[in-house]
Amino acid sequence: MTFDSKELDIESGAAVSKGDDGDDTTGRKVPVYSDDIHPYNEPKSLKIYHHTMRMFHGETRGVDRVPEEEKTHSSVMGPTTLWFAINMVIAAYALGALSYPVFNLDFGSSVLTVVFFNILGALPVAFFSIFGARFGLRQMVMSRFLIGNVGMRIFALFNCVACVGWAAVNTMSSAQLLHIVNNGALPPWAGCVIVIALTIFVSFFGYNLIHAYERWSWIPNTICFIAIIARFAMAHVFKAGIQNADGEWVTWGSGPTLAGNILSFGGAVFGYSAGWATYAADYTTYMRSKTSSWKIFLGVFAGVVVSLSFTEILGAACITGIKTSSTYAKLYDEYSVGGLIYAILVQDSLHGFGQFLCVLLALSTVCNNIPNMYSIALGVQSMWSQFAKVPRVVWTVIGNGLILAICIPGYYDFAEVVDNFMNLIGYYIAIYISVSLTEHFVFRRGFSAYHPEDYKDITKLNPGYAGAFSFFCGVAGAVLGMNQTWYQGVLASKIGADSGDIGFEVASGFSFVSYLISRSIELKYFGR
């Protein structure tokens, strides 16, 4: 069936005039749609949705490729400030604060661990950001070329789980702080609801509003952290070392126990920073394809490393106050990281203004949750073409509902939840990065080997059997190398009880070797 009137160009949203042959008046080929899928015959609810989004310049595109004429962003400050704002939040501070109570590290060891593992984790995030600008494809869709059609679906599923997990951890840390303000007047569940509601509101309108929000949201968050630095320094409770068996304070430890704790803490830090790698291209898809790859890489790298190192080191410094201050120790024991911040900013400190800063800092989680809730929709749509027919915002709302169901009960065991989750995410991310980089550097050897226009044609895509096989090999490696309170892998136990967690390192190695072998076989028999 053809249409002779002006129809809506699905890719650009613009009206074009078409003749019987399906061409527009400029001679450009325009797709012809049957009655059952033509936009004018879509359900009334979707018509209202598209009309509303157009009114507010919102984004209705899901996982379809962004055409070059819509790629209008060229400044690298966009992704730089985005990643800086995303990580200048209380959740990153909370991760740094685990260094002493969970991993028993002195401040000096914590700083080196934070800086090194953040650099390691930021490299793939910065690299994958280049793909979004080059090809206009979302990260999970781009993964069809990197890990194959079958492998992508497995990783997309785990990516959705990770999105929910990240946001739940973030929401819990904010709920702690909102609850303690004003003498516990706000119950924890209400704090979770507030954060999630704000996340839905900002992420509803998509790419442009997210970038606009993140461009400025880091400013009040940074002011709050500066206030924490000032008040913590004035309290004179900083203690750089840890106590040994004899009760003496030791600034720099040594031996297998220290090495094991550094590996375990490093795994959590890596899991946080590298965790953005499976979202990275989502936030550069509207950048012009000719934008300098080096500028994108360095901008994103700086945004991730600087913000995460700053917040995590500050958290590692502040947690040392529980060693010397009974007030800090009591509030931390009762309210975890939220109590620690309250002790610094409010208790015998800034009082009412300190509580105001606590609320601002608690709401900073919205900055961090937005990319999770934007990307979870894209991940779901990537898994199955039928899911792609459901508007992005529907999946966002569903994802936030799952977060609410998780974070309220998890609130009461926050430190343990954060530690276990960060390490588990580190395993999955290590596998994804290892397989993807192997495909790019070993088998494709550069961007010229990609044909992004084939992203929907499974006959031309990497089949993905090698990617799926390597995923399971990586999982086996993670199981062998993990050292958690609930399970210690065979390799970890051979090294020793205090060896630390080497799960993500072993997972990365297993997936790398298995992909080299299986992908070579796959190419031989499938030729793609």
Say what the pLDDT of residue 495 is: 65
Res. 521: pLDDT tops 70: yes
Res. 47: pLDDT tops 70: no
Is-contact 289 68, C-beta < 8 A?
yes
Spatial separation of the C-alpha atoms in residues 241 and 237, rounded to whole Å: 12
Q: Is 381 left (phi over 0), alpha (psi -120 to 50) or beta?
A: alpha
Confidence bin at 50 (pLDDT 50/70/90): low
Is-contact 454 295, C-beta < 8 A?
no
Q: Which amino acid, one-letter code, is at 360?
A: L
Res. 2: pLDDT tops 70: no
Res. 17: pLDDT tops 80: no
Rg (CA), the chain: 24
Domain that holds residue 96: 76-421
Q: Is residue 166 part of a domain?
A: yes
pLDDT over 70 for what percent of the chain?
82
Average predicted confidence (pLDDT) for the chain? 82
Q: Is residue 60 part of a domain?
A: no
Task: Give the CATH number of the domain where residue 134 resides.
Answer: 1.10.4160.10
Say what the pLDDT of residue 13 is: 37
Is-contact 228 384, C-beta < 8 A?
no
Q: Is residue 317 part of a domain?
A: yes
Confidence bin at 12 (pLDDT 50/70/90): very low
Q: Is residue 311 part of a domain?
A: yes
Confidence bin at 48 (pLDDT 50/70/90): low
DSSP characters over 51-77: HHHHHTT-----SSPPPGGG--B--TH
Confidence bin at 441 (pLDDT 50/70/90): very high
Res. 236: pLDDT tops 70: yes
Question: Tens digits of per-residue pLDDT, 167-214?
Answer: 887 888 788 788 888 777 888 888 888 888 888 888 777 777 787 888
Res. 252: pLDDT tops 90: no
The least confident of 43-47, 62-66, 377-381, 485-489 is: 43-47
Spatial separation of the C-alpha atoms in residues 376 and 401, rounded to whole Å: 12
Question: What domain count does the chain have?
Answer: 1
Say what the pLDDT of residue 442 is: 93
Give the pTM. 0.84
The least confident of 93-107, 149-163, 420-434 is: 420-434
Say what the pLDDT of residue 474 is: 93
Return the bridge partners of 250, or none.
242
Res. 457: pLDDT tops 60: yes
Res. 3: pLDDT tops 70: no
Spatial separation of the C-alpha atoms in residues 300 and 357, rounded to whole Å: 28
Q: Which of 476, 498, 449 is nearest to 146 (CA)?
A: 449
Highest mean pLDDT among 30-34, 40-44, 109-113: 109-113
Say what the pLDDT of residue 23 is: 42
Spatial separation of the C-alpha atoms in residues 178 and 195, rounded to whole Å: 10
Q: Both tokens of residue 213?
A: 């929000």
Res. 290: pLDDT tops 80: yes
Spatial separation of the C-alpha atoms in residues 58 and 397, rounded to whole Å: 16
Q: Which of 80, 84, 98 is nearest to 306 (CA)?
A: 84
Q: Is residue 400 part of a domain?
A: yes
Q: Which of 485, 116, 129, 453 is nearest to 283 (CA)?
A: 129
Q: Is residue 187 part of a domain?
A: yes
Res. 517: pLDDT tops 50: yes
The least confident of 40-49, 92-101, 375-384 is: 40-49
Say what the pLDDT of residue 84 is: 94
Res. 459: pLDDT tops 80: yes
Confidence bin at 31 (pLDDT 50/70/90): very low
Q: Is residue 320 part of a domain?
A: yes
Q: Is residue 43 part of a domain?
A: no
